[in-house]
Chains A and B, each alone.
Chain A
Amino acid sequence: MGFAEADLDGQVGRAFPGGTYTVTPWRAWLLADTVLAPPPSLIGDGGEAPVAHPLFAWMAATGAMGITWDELFSWFGATAADGPVFGEHETTLHRPLRVGASYRVSGGIVSAQRKVGRRTGTFDVVGYSMDLHEVPTDGPAPGVHVATCWNSIVFPRRDA
C-alpha cells in the first residue's frame, strides 16, 4: 500500500534529532579542493580563522541533522530505490562559516505536499529546514545564528 496523503501531512513539524558539526581544517581543505576552490592554508598564522567555503552550510546542516538519508526517506515510506531526488535548495548566510568552528544544527520537516504532474504522475514534495548556530568556545551560552538551509526532496509515488 502506498504512503497516504494524510500520513504525509502528519510528518510536518517533525523535528530532527540534530547535532553538532565541526569544520575541521582537513575537511575544509578537501572540500575546497573537491569543489575547485582555493583550499585554506593549514599553516596557522595566529590570526582570524579562515573563511570556510559557503557549501559548508549545506554540509553542516545535512551532516548533523541527526538521522541518515535512509531514515529520512523512511519517514515518508520511501527508500533510496524509489528514486527520491533533490528538488530545490536555499542557503541563507548571516555570517560566514569559519575553519575550525563548530555549529549546532537543529530543524525538521516544514512542508509536505502531494502533487500530480501530467508526465511525472503523482509525487510528494517535502521541505525541510535547518538552522546553524555557532557553538561558543567560552561557555554554554547559545551561539550566534549563522545560517539557515532549506531543501526540498521529491518522492515519486508510482503506486499512489
Chain B
Amino acid sequence: MTAAVEVGTELPGYEVPSVSAEKMKTMAALLSDPTPIHWDVETLQALGMGDRPINQGPLNMGYVMNAVTDWAGGADRLTRLRVRFLGNVLAGHHLRVRGTVTALRESDGVRLADCDVVLEVVGGDPVVSGTATVVLA
C-alpha cells in the first residue's frame, strides 16, 4: 500500500453511501449527549431545521480517521489529526473523504506522511477539512 507513497499521492476514496440516523442515536447514548437535533425529528421541525437528523461532529471526524488509517494500514497508524468543522451532515447524505500526501518525513526513526484531508457531501460542499499525519509501514 504505502511502498510507492510520494508527495502528491492521493489516498484511496473512502465513502459513506448514506449517513444513518440510527447510528446517531447510538452515538448520542455513547456521548451522553442530550442534544435532540441528532435524533428527534419533532424537535428539528419545531426549530425549522427540516426533518433529517444532524450527524454528530465527532462521527464526521471519525470517517476521516477511518479513511487515513485504512490507507496507512491500521488504527494504530494515526499520530495527529487537525480538523475544522465547516458544515452540517444530515441523515441520508452520501459522503466522501479525499486525501492527498503533502509531505514525507522521518521522526525518531519512523517514516511519517502528512496529508491534507477533506470530508465532503457528494454533489455538495466540504463539511470537514484539515490535516493528518500517519506512520508509514
B75 / chain A contacts, CB cutoff of 8 Å: 37, 51-54, 96
A-B contact count (CB 8 A): 85
B27 at interface, CB cutoff 8 A: yes
Q: In the bound complex, how far is the Cα of B85 from the Cα of A91, in angstroms?
A: 14
Q: In the bound complex, how far is the Cα of B69 from the Cα of A90, in angstroms?
A: 16
B90 at interface, CB cutoff 8 A: no
Chain A, interface SS category: mixed
- State whether B62 touches A37 (Cβ < 8 A): yes
The residue on B at minimum CB distance from A62 is B31
- State whether A86 touches B66 (Cβ < 8 A): no
The B50-99 residues at the A interface (CB cut-off 8 A) are: 57-59, 61-63, 65-66, 69, 74-76, 78-85
- State whether A54 touches B65 (Cβ < 8 A): yes
A31 / chain B contacts, CB cutoff of 8 Å: 27, 30
Partner of A59, one of B58, B74, B76: B58
- State whether A80 touches B35 (Cβ < 8 A): yes
CB-CB contacts of B7-32 with A at 8 A, as 1s and 0s?
00000000010000001001100111
A2 to chain B, nearest CB (A): 24
- State whether A96 touches B76 (Cβ < 8 A): yes
Q: In the bound complex, how far is the Cα of B78 from the Cα of A27, in angstroms?
A: 20
B65 to chain A, nearest CB (A): 5
Sort chain A's interface into a size bin.
20 to 34
A62 / chain B contacts, CB cutoff of 8 Å: 31
The residue on B at minimum CB distance from A90 is B82
- State whether A53 touches B81 (Cβ < 8 A): no
A58 at interface, CB cutoff 8 A: yes
- State whether A35 touches B62 (Cβ < 8 A): yes
A116 at interface, CB cutoff 8 A: no
Q: In the bound complex, how far is the Cα of B57 from the Cα of A87, in angstroms?
A: 10
Q: Other than A51-B75, A53-B62, A87-B85, give 10 A-B pairs with Cβ distance below 8 A.
A: A34-B27, A52-B75, A54-B78, A55-B61, A55-B65, A86-B85, A88-B85, A89-B82, A89-B83, A96-B75
The 6 closest A-B pairs by CB, nearest first: A35-B62, A90-B82, A96-B76, A55-B62, A51-B76, A54-B78
Give A contacts to B, CB under 8 Å. 27, 30-31, 33-37, 51-55, 58-59, 62-63, 69, 80, 85-94, 96
